[in-house]
């Protein structure tokens, strides 16, 4: 089982990147794990699709490698952040027809978690599920949302990381079991 982890934040002390590393721990004995580096993707421009840019190719290869992709999204103005949407727009574009699938997202399994303010990225997580479903990913319905308090926001440190790790452990096991059940069906 191959799982790609994607933090939707490029911020150095990102809460979502912290969640992603908790997932990396949780998956250590359950799956082969890679972390997506998408920080060098340019702003999407249809004029730049051909020839394929190396940064786009690298990202696509990572998605095509994975059985499942686990996203960790912040919430910006009740939506997913623009940079994450930009990356998904690149990934949603058609592959060469010889690849046999529409895009690097098609048919892959997805899980969603998110950390933001009081509402725990509820709106962004729900919009991300809608976007991934539109892009023909199969979305696991158990999510983890974390609402950082103002005090936590100031330090970028969770006050009770063990409690969050427990929720992430549960989601990791559920996601892997769900993918295995789907693949066996």
Ligand X SMILES: Cc1cc2nc3c(=O)[nH]c(=O)nc-3n(C[C@H](O)[C@H](O)[C@H](O)COP(=O)(O)O)c2cc1C
Nearer residue to ligand X within complex by CB, 16 or 143? 16
Least distance (Å) between residue 9 CB and ligand X: 3
The residue among 14 and 136 lying less far from ligand X, judged by its C-beta, is 14
To the nearest whole angstrom, how small is the minimum distance from the Cβ of residue 82 to ligand X? 9
CB of 76 to ligand X, least distance (A): 4
Q: Could you tell me the smallest distance in angstroms from the CB atom of residue 84 to ligand X? A: 10
Q: Nearest-CA neighbor of 103 among 114, 113, 123, 89?
A: 89
Q: Name the residue with the smallest CB distance to ligand X.
A: 117
How far lies 93's CA from each of 96, 116, 130, in Å? 10, 29, 17
Return the number of the residue (60 or 125) whose C-beta is nearest ligand X.
Answer: 125
Residue 4 or 121 with smaller CB distance to ligand X: 121
Interatomic CA distance for residues 58 and 64, integer angstroms = 10
3-state helix, strand, coil in the chain (%, to 5): 45, 15, 40
Which residue ranges make up the site for ligand X (CB under 6 A)? 9, 11, 14-16, 74-78, 115-117, 119, 148
Nearest CB to ligand X, comparing residues 6 and 62? 6
Give the list of residues 6+ apart from residue 145 with CB closer than 8 angstroms, or none.
113, 114, 115, 119, 120, 121, 122, 125
CB 7 → ligand X: shortest distance, Å? 7
């Amino acid at each position: 089982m191959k799982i790609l982890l994607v933090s939707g934040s490029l911020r150095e002390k990102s809460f979502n990147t912290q969640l992603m590393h908790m997932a990396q721990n949780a998956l250590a004995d359950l799956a082969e794990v890679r972390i997506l580096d998408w920080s060098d993707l340019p702003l999407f421009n249809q004029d730049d699709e051909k020839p394929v840019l190396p940064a786009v190719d690298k990202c696509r290869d990572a998605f095509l490698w994975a059985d499942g992709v686990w996203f960790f999204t912040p919430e910006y103005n009740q939506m997913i952040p623009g940079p994450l949407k930009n990356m998904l727009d690149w990934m949603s574009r058609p592959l060469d027809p010889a690849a046999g699938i529409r895009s690097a997202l098609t048919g892959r399994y997805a899980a969603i978690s998110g950390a933001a303010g009081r509402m725990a990225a509820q709106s962004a997580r729900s919009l991300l599920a809608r976007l991934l479903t539109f892009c023909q990913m199969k979305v696991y319905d158990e999510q983890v949302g974390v609402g950082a308090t103002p005090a936590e926001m100031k330090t970028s440190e969770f006050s009770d990381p063990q409690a969050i790790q427990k929720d992430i452990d549960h989601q990791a096991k559920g996601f892997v079991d769900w993918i295995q059940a789907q693949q066996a069906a």
